[in-house]
């Protein structure tokens, strides 16, 4: 028996893990994300996704390979959304209004059974936001705070659900 670098006891033979390969692989997986940005030369674009402008919002189809991280980095906006256990549905857009007051997306159920998936979100502008899954209100979150907020999204035993986040009140009202 031997002890691998991750602290796991391994039987004689080839080790399951290798530092260079596993650290590099894990690092590569953690860099996969869809990022909406406003480039001063090329304009509005989505790294790792397909962007389409629809009035005062963008629709972005995540195509980064994992479809679990979504960011908006425009001017002074820094919105970050990460799904846990599930991912953004294949070929379904994430819709984000220009003022970040409305966000809609479709997480796909990657387990096939009913469960809760986590959504970590930060960077919402100041105000109160309602979170709904398939039209049913499940939580409220407060924007304007630097902390990452975790929301438990109920996912029934169906292929996907619709999530909507919208501002219900602005700060100071």
Type and span of the H or E element at 27: helix 19-31
Residue ranges of domains in the chain: 17-169
pTM of the model: 0.83
What is residue 134's three-state secondary structure?
A: coil
Give me the tens of pLDDT residue by residue for the chain, a chain 173 residues long.
Answer: 776 666 777 777 666 655 666 666 666 767 789 999 998 899 999 999 999 999 999 999 999 999 999 999 999 999 999 999 899 999 999 999 999 999 999 999 999 999 999 999 999 999 999 999 999 999 999 999 889 999 999 999 999 999 999 999 776 55
| Cβ(90)–Cβ(106) below 8 Å | no
């Amino acid at each position: 028996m031997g002890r691998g670098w991750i602290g796991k006891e391994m039987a004689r033979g080839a080790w399951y893990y290798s530092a260079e390969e596993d650290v590099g692989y894990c690092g590569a997986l953690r860099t996969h994300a869809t990022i909406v940005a406003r480039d001063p030369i090329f304009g509005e674009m989505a790294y790792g996704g397909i962007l389409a402008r629809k009035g005062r919002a963008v629709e972005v189809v995540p195509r980064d390979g994992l479809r679990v991280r979504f960011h908006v980095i425009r001017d002074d906006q820094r919105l970050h959304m990460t799904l846990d256990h599930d991912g953004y549905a294949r070929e379904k857009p994430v819709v984000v209004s220009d003022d970040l007051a409305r966000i809609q997306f479709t997480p796909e159920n990657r387990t096939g059974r009913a469960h809760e998936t986590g959504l970590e979100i930060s960077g919402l502008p100041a105000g109160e936001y309602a979170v709904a899954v398939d039209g049913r209100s499940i939580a409220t979150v407060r924007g304007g705070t630097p902390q990452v907020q975790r929301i438990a999204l109920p996912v029934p035993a169906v292929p996907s659900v619709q999530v909507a986040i919208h501002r219900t009140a602005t700060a100071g009202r």
